[in-house]
């Protein structure tokens, strides 16, 4: 990786705005095929939202816990060729008023909730609860998230594990949220706490920074560089731009600003080697203001390693309304924002020599694996598109 101090007289095939997983994967693919790339980022570090900050020797997921998971063989082989992944398996726990439940909803959860032992007993209990919800509706369609959730999974699980958590996430009561937010609530009739159904999951050994550093090994980089502050000089030295920043900002908010939900993190060092015994504990009661606590060491330390490190770093997560200046995390997919995003996408599709990609430039939530896949495809597409050549 080369840190650029003075970019004058340089010629680049691509200027890549944003060193997140999209920009870094694109830069890697392009460099591998002989293209010269300059990656810039307005932040003082690489990696976008997968960046990890070292605190007390522990990799802290600064922008929220990230677990890589995929069933896409090509993507898994690709990321594993850059960095080795560990065996971390996501199995979050829910804490409701001091009682613990396994997630996702599976036989362990049903046993903890009702004392049932067999799948037949659990299915009967679920059906009894769903029937109660159907009787309450008396033939009419569910009008809000509360009614929809009870219809899908019954009152007990809704009240204990869904209501408070969802209300904290959305900042609104479930009775005021639309029913369509929850279309399905998958249940697993086996004793299996693995959150993901994917074939592969894990955390890069040494943290996500290793993945990004591997991707950007032979790429020129400029940090603390806001594209819009240096647009003219940067455009002048690059043939094409790959833009992974917010799409509305690219067009100077000409149709107005897109909205987001955000998360704020309260990170503290705890004087204990093992604070909660698990990477992820959700707090599902409404009265506790945070949604979950992440204990970062459990992403990368297993067995005896946990005790050897005498401290631990935890982050409490608070779901918050987004305001200008805050990190934009989750797009708000309501009608207003969707139609605004469509108008910007239309402008983007008519913008010559700029490739828009990534979660902010597409105004769409993507997990990491689909982002890697999209970046690989974006480079291929750009180099097989004969119209611009």
In the set 295, 300, 317, 362, the catalytic residue is 317
| Residue 203 binds ligand FAD (CB under 6 A) | no
Q: Does 19 bind ligand FAD (CB under 6 A)?
A: yes
Segment contacting ligand FAD by CB under 6 A, of 129-137, 144-152, 181-189, 358-366: 358-366
- Annotated active-site residue 163? The verdict is no
- Cα within 13 Å of Cα(297), Cβ side: 27
Residue selected from 15, 16, 17, 293 as contacting ligand FAD according to rule CB under 6 A:
17
Q: For ligand FAD, which residue of 14, 78, 165, 227 counts as binding (CB under 6 A)?
A: 227
Active site residue 345: no
Q: Which two tokens stand for residue 326?
A: 């805050």
CB of 372 to ligand FAD, least distance (A): 9
Nearest CB to ligand FAD, comparing residues 50 and 113? 50
- 207 versus 245: smaller Cβ distance to ligand FAD: 245
Q: Which of residues 326-355 bind ligand FAD (CB under 6 A)?
A: 329
Which residues are within 8 A (CB) of 143 and not within 5 positions of it... i.e. 6 or more apart?
179
d(CA 42, CA 19): 9
Q: C-beta of 355: minimal distance to ligand FAD in Å?
A: 13
Contacts of 126 (CB under 8 A, 6+ apart): 110, 153, 154, 187
Give the residue from 65, 35, 27, 162 showing the smallest Cα distance to 368.
65
22 binds ligand FAD (CB under 6 A): yes
Question: What is the CA angle 322-326-331, rounded to 5?
Answer: 45
Choose one: 63-71, 106-114, 234-242, 348-356; the region binding ligand FAD (CB under 6 A): 63-71
Give the number of other CB atoms < 10 A from CB of residue 207.
Answer: 25
Hunting for tokens 């065996």 — which residue is that?
A: 87
Strands (E), the chain: 2-3, 12-17, 37-40, 52-55, 58-61, 68-70, 93-96, 99-102, 200-202, 220-222, 238-243, 260-270, 280-283, 292-295, 312-321, 330-331, 354-356
Of the candidates 87, 183, 184, 387, the residue annotated as catalytic is 184
End-to-end CA distance of the chain: 29
By the rule CB under 6 A, 367 interacts with ligand FAD: yes
Q: Which of 218, 224, 266, 365 is catalytic?
A: 365
Task: From the candidates 257, 261, 286, 345, give the one annotated as an active-site residue.
Answer: 261
Give the H or E element holding residue 306: helix 304-308
The reply on whether position 371 binds ligand FAD by CB under 6 A is yes
Asked if residue 245 binds ligand FAD (CB under 6 A), the reply is yes
The count of C-alpha atoms lying within 13 angstroms of the C-alpha of 118, restricted to the half-sphere facing its C-beta, is 3
Contact 280, 90 (CB under 8 A): yes
**Known active-site residue 134:** no
Is 367 a residue of the active site? yes
Q: Which residues ranging from 207 to 226 are in contact with ligand FAD (CB under 6 A)?
A: 226
Examine residue 37 and tell whether it contacts ligand FAD (CB under 6 A). no
CB within 8 A of 25, min separation 6: which ones?
215, 371, 372, 375, 376
Contact flag: residue 42 with ligand FAD (CB under 6 A) = yes
Question: Which C-beta is closer to ligand FAD: that of 17 or that of 162?
Answer: 17
Q: How far is the CB of 154 from ligand FAD (least distance, A)?
A: 28
Judged by beta carbon, residue 40 or residue 94, the one nearer ligand FAD is: 40
184 is catalytic: yes
Residues carrying an active site annotation:
184, 188, 261, 292, 317, 365, 367
Q: Which residues bind ligand FAD (CB under 6 A)?
A: 17-23, 40-43, 48-50, 64-68, 226-228, 244-245, 263, 329, 358-360, 366-369, 371
């Amino acid at each position: 990786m080369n840190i650029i101090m003075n970019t004058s007289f340089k010629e680049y095939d691509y200027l890549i705005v944003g060193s997140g997983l999209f920009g870094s994967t694109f830069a890697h693919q392009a460099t591998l095929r002989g293209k010269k790339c300059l990656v810039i980022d307005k932040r003082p570090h690489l990696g976008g939202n997968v960046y990890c900050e070292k605190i007390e020797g522990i990799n802290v997921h600064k922008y929220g816990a990230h677990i890589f998971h995929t069933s896409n063989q090509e993507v898994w082989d690709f990321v594993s060729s850059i960095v080795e992944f560990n065996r971390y398996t996501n199995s979050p726990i829910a804490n409701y008023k001091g009682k613990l439940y396994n997630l996702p909803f599976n036989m362990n959860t049903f046993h903890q909730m009702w004392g049932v032992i067999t799948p037949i007993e659990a299915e009967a209990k679920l059906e009894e609860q769903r029937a109660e919800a159907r009787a309450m509706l008396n033939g009419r369609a569910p009008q809000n998230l509360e009614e929809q959730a009870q219809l899908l999974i019954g009152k007990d699980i809704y009240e204990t594990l869904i209501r408070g958590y969802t209300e904290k996430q959305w900042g609104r009561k479930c009775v005021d949220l639309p029913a369509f937010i929850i279309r399905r609530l998958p249940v697993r009739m086996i004793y299996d706490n693995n959150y993901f159904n994917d074939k592969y999951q894990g955390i890069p050994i040494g943290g996500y920074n290793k993945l990004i550093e591997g991707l950007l090994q032979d790429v020129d980089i400029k940090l603390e560089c806001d594209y819009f502050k240096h647009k003219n000089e940067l455009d002048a030295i690059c043939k094409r731009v790959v833009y992974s920043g917010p799409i509305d900002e690219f067009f100077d908010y000409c149709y107005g600003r897109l909205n987001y939900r955000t998360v704020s993190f309260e990170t503290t060092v705890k004087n204990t080697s093992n604070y909660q015994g698990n990477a992820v504990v959700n707090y599902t009661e409404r009265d506790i203001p945070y949604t979950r606590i992440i204990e970062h060491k459990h992403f990368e330390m297993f067995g005896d390693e946990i005790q050897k490190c005498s401290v631990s770093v935890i982050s409490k997560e608070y779901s918050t309304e987004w305001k200008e200046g805050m990190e934009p995390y989750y797009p708000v997919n309501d009608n207003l924002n969707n139609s605004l995003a469509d108008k910007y996408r239309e402008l983007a599709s008519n913008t010559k020599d700029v490739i828009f990609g990534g979660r902010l430039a597409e105004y769409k939530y993507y997990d990491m694996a689909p982002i890697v896949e999209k970046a690989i495809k974006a480079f291929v597409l750009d180099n097989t598109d004969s119209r611009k050549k």
